[in-house]
């Protein structure tokens, strides 16, 4: 992506932001020139299509930390650019062209245009090269920002990092997250504390208090930056949690395994979905009671997230193709979970782990055939 040529007109200290253009390095030289902090807004005007009413996951006024979950993902920082436009809110502020979550949401700045994308060769005075997935991340630079939703959601999370963590300044790891309703009334607030080293992405997610429409991310120490990638949002209570991450596919994306239906063993209504896969690739689901983490399992380019006795869904009609949708699904029979010594039923109280294996190719002109895995999904049945 290429930053707008007019971007420098709005930077009071132009030397503080370099190399936004594709192929260059981003090197924020921290010249702490005085200027007022500004507010950056990520405005998520969510369509009613993914805002069905559900029972709240928390009581009003409580925001609870949430383990990695699989919901509606946004990784569009890879292919979209920022530009001044009339998207939500229609202020002429820089926006992410095309919006977010398939156009059902939008991301815009509201004042100082610190809404930009950065290359994965990002460098800073405090840490070296940074990379999450793909070759672009989103950055809120030297400012607080807000995330505004246009419809009720019950869970939100993503991967956060900072390229301005100073080991000598403990507060440089801290941001405060304020949860507000559509009238701006505060419902709760939580501390976001980055635990890893400078430049390392880590998951932070929350169940949202009923009525939450805005999250303000407020700087604790001035002149700090927050980077974001792989946002997740859900209008329904997520089933299971993502206990193990996948490696990138040949498309520099991560494959996901998610579930819909019911966690009731007696109801026997659970569907698995593998998505964000390469097009027209074959694959199948795996399951086990145990978790594991085996990089390059069987010569694969991915990581096997299962352990112990592993069952494969390779019976009639169970081997799938991702097609042009880049996804495949399977309805499970919880009374007959495949295992090496024969099918077994799910018992209430048990935890099972799921993952999908699929064919892939090695990145590069040779396109050497290989295989890969989605991330792992852990479900406890009742």
Handedness of CA 94, 68, 308, 351 (dihedral sign): negative
The 3-state DSSP class for residue 132 equals coil
Give the pLDDT score at 116: 56
Distance CA 126, CA 165 (A): 6
pTM value surpassing 0.95: no
Domain boundaries, the chain: 5-234, 241-380
pLDDT of residue 17: 25
Q: What is the dihedral of CA 52, 58, 59, 60, to 10 degrees?
A: -60
- Rounded Cα distance between 346 and 34, Å, is 61
Question: Using an 8 Å Cβ cutoff, are 257 and 377 in contact?
Answer: yes
Reference 107, options 74, 133, 134; nearest CA is: 74
pLDDT of 114 reads 58
Instruction: State residue 39's pLDDT score.
Output: 36
Neighbour-count burial of 16, counting CB atoms closer than 10 A to its CB (0-12 exposed, 13-18 middle, 19+ buried): middle
CA–CA gap between residue 331 and residue 135 (Å, rounded): 34
Q: Are strands 155-161 and 64-65 parallel, antiparallel or unpaired?
A: unpaired
Question: How high is the pLDDT of residue 22?
Answer: 28
- Residue 305 makes CB contacts below 8 A (sequence gap 6+) with 243, 244, 246, 291, 292, 293, 353, 355, 373, 375, 376
Q: Which CATH class is domain 241-380?
A: mainly beta
219 token code pair: 């700087």
Distance CA 58, CA 206 (A): 10
- Which residues have C-beta within 8 Å of that of residue 355, sequence separation ≥ 6? 244, 257, 285, 286, 287, 304, 305, 306, 373, 374, 375, 376, 377
CB–CB of 214/180 below 8 Å?
yes
Q: pLDDT digit of tens for each residue in the chain (382 aa)? A: 333 322 222 222 222 222 222 222 332 322 222 333 333 334 333 333 333 233 333 344 588 998 888 887 766 565 555 555 444 444 555 666 666 666 666 666 655 545 555 555 555 556 665 667 666 666 666 667 777 777 888 999 988 988 888 888 888 899 999 898 989 899 999 999 999 887 788 999 999 999 998 888 888 887 778 888 888 888 888 899 999 989 989 988 889 999 999 999 999 999 999 999 999 999 999 999 999 999 999 899 999 999 999 999 999 999 999 999 999 999 999 999 999 999 999 999 999 999 999 999 987 778 899 999 999 999 999 9
Of residues 318, 281, 287, the one with CA closest to residue 304: 287
Sign of CA dihedral 160, 166, 167, 169: negative
The 3-state DSSP class for residue 5 equals helix
**Distance from chain centroid for Cα 72:** 9
Rounded Cα gap, residues 119 and 12, in angstroms: 22
pLDDT for res 60: 47
Q: What is the pLDDT of residue 4?
A: 30
């Amino acid at each position: 992506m290429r930053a707008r040529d007019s971007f420098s007109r709005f930077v009071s200290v132009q030397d503080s932001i370099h190399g936004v253009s594709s192929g260059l390095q981003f090197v924020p030289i921290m010249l702490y020139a005085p200027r007022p902090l500004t507010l950056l807004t990520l405005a998520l005007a969510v369509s009613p299509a993914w805002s069905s009413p559900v029972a709240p996951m928390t009581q009003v006024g409580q925001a609870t930390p949430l383990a990695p979950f699989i919901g509606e993902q946004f990784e569009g920082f890879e292919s979209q650019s920022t530009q001044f436009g009339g998207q939500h809110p229609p202020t002429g502020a820089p926006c992410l062209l095309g919006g977010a979550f398939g156009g059902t949401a939008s991301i815009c700045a509201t004042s100082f245009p610190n809404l930009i994308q950065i290359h994965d060769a990002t460098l800073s005075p405090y840490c070296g090269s940074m990379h999450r997935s793909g070759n672009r991340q989103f950055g809120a630079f030297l400012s607080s920002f807000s995330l505004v939703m246009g419809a009720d959601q019950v869970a939100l999370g993503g991967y956060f990092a900072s390229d301005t963590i100073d080991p000598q300044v403990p507060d440089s790891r801290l941001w405060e997250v304020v949860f507000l309703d559509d009238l701006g009334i505060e419902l709760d607030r939580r501390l976001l504390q980055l635990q890893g080293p400078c430049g390392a992405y880590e998951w932070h997610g929350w169940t949202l208090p009923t009525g939450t429409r805005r999250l303000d991310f407020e700087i604790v120490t001035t002149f700090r930056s927050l980077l974001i990638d792989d946002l997740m949002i859900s209008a329904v209570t997520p089933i299971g949690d993502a206990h193990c991450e996948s490696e990138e596919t040949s498309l520099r994306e991560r494959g996901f395994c998610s579930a819909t239906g019911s966690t009731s063993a007696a109801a026997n209504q659970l569907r698995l979905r593998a998505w964000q896969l390469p097009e027209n690739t074959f694959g199948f689901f795996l399951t086990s009671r145990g978790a594991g983490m085996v990089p390059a399992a069987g010569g694969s380019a991915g990581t096997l997230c299962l352990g112990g006795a592993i069952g494969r869904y390779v019976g009639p009609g169970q081997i799938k193709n991702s097609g042009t949708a880049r996804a495949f699904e399977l309805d499970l029979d919880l009374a007959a979970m495949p295992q090496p010594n024969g099918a077994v039923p799910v018992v209430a109280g048990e935890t099972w782990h799921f993952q999908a294996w699929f064919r892939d190719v090695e990145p590069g002109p040779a396109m050497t055939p290989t295989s890969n895995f989605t991330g792992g999904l852990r479900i406890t049945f009742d």
